[in-house]
């Protein structure tokens, strides 16, 4: 995932979830962490900008940074209750240290999308930006009531792209590399993926995903880095099938 300048258009970033993920992703939904994880926080606290992975890829959560709501068995974007009314996401920010970067990320996000984020007044459903030492994570779509986007300081608020990435999850988007057509664009180096993390590379079914006929985007803010979840940190886990100019 690239940071500034952000060479992407948010409306073509990734795959919008429209139902329950399949196979091992579906299984993962049943066992994924539903509570914040301090071990993830330790890993993110040790992250630096010189590493070849992004801080949101260090988590023990589903796909690294996806929090699963308790009791939730799947996602169905055809269910209007999971979408934000009128494309507006109310929010509050709890940590003053995060204000500037979050506001910059929101401005960038609104510039390229039809989704707006506005300070909460009395809305029942809203996002709360928090900064607990549990890594970078968000829920997928609107889950109802107050829902958190956690941005551990300083790791998760070092790059504007990380903030936008987590906002995208809250808006209802999954990771680009889980598109069902991803094998046409990248090769997954399964031999170098940590055994406990192979489920993070499962594909979503085309029957349950809406990609709106948008092409695969190597530069998506929702794309894993080339070395995500690698056993050997100097060998890539995601290899592009076109020029490396399009990818890390």
86: helix, strand or coil:
helix
**pLDDT tens sequence across 114-165:** 999 999 999 999 999 999 999 999 998 999 999 999 999 999 999 999 999 9
Domains in the chain, ordered, with CATH? 38-173 (3.40.390.10), 174-247 (3.40.390.10)
177 marked among binding-site residues: no
223 marked among binding-site residues: no
CA separation for the pair 130, 146 (Å, rounded)? 12
Torsion (CA) 72, 73, 78, 80 in degrees, nearest 10: -20
pTM of the model: 0.86
Give yes or no for residue 16 having a pLDDT over 80: no
103 marked among binding-site residues: no
Residues tagged active-site = 166
Give yes or no for residue 180 having a pLDDT over 70: yes
**pLDDT tens sequence across 36-75:** 889 999 999 999 999 999 999 999 998 999 998 775 555 5
Read off the pLDDT of each residue in 103-123 and give the average, rounded to a whole number: 96
Read off the pLDDT of each residue in 229-242 and give the average, rounded to a whole number: 95
Cβ contacts of residue 27 below 8 Å, gap of 6+? 199
DSSP 117-154: EEE-SS-SSEEEEE--SS-EEE-SS--SSEEEEEE-TT
């Amino acid at each position: 995932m690239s940071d500034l300048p952000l060479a992407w258009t948010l409306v073509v970033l990734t795959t919008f979830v429209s139902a329950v993920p399949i196979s091992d992703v579906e299984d993962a939904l049943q066992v994924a962490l539903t509570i914040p994880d301090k071990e993830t926080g330790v890993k993110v606290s040790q992250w630096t900008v010189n590493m070849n992975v992004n801080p949101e890829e260090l988590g023990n959560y589903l796909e690294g940074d996806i929090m699963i709501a308790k009791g939730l068995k799947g996602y169905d974007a055809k269910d209007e209750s999971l979408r934000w009314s009128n494309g507006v996401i109310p929010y509050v920010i709890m940590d003053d240290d995060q204000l500037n970067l979050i506001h910059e990320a929101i401005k960038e996000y609104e510039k390229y999308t039809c989704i707006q984020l506005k300070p909460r007044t009395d809305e029942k459903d809203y996002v709360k930006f928090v900064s607990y030492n549990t890594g970078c994570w968000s829920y997928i779509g609107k889950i109802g009531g107050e829902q958190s986007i956690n941005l551990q300081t300083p790791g998760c608020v070092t790059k504007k792209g990380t903030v936008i990435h987590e906002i995208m999850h809250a808006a209802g988007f999954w990771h680009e590399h889980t598109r069902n057509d991803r094998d046409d664009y990248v090769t997954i180096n399964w031999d170098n993926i940590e055994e406990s993390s192979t489920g993070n590379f499962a594909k979503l079914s085309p029957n349950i995903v809406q990609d709106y006929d948008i092409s695969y985007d190597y530069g998506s803010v929702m794309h894993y880095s080339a070395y995500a979840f690698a056993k050997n940190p100097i060998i890539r886990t995601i290899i592009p099938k076109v020029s490396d100019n399009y990818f890390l």
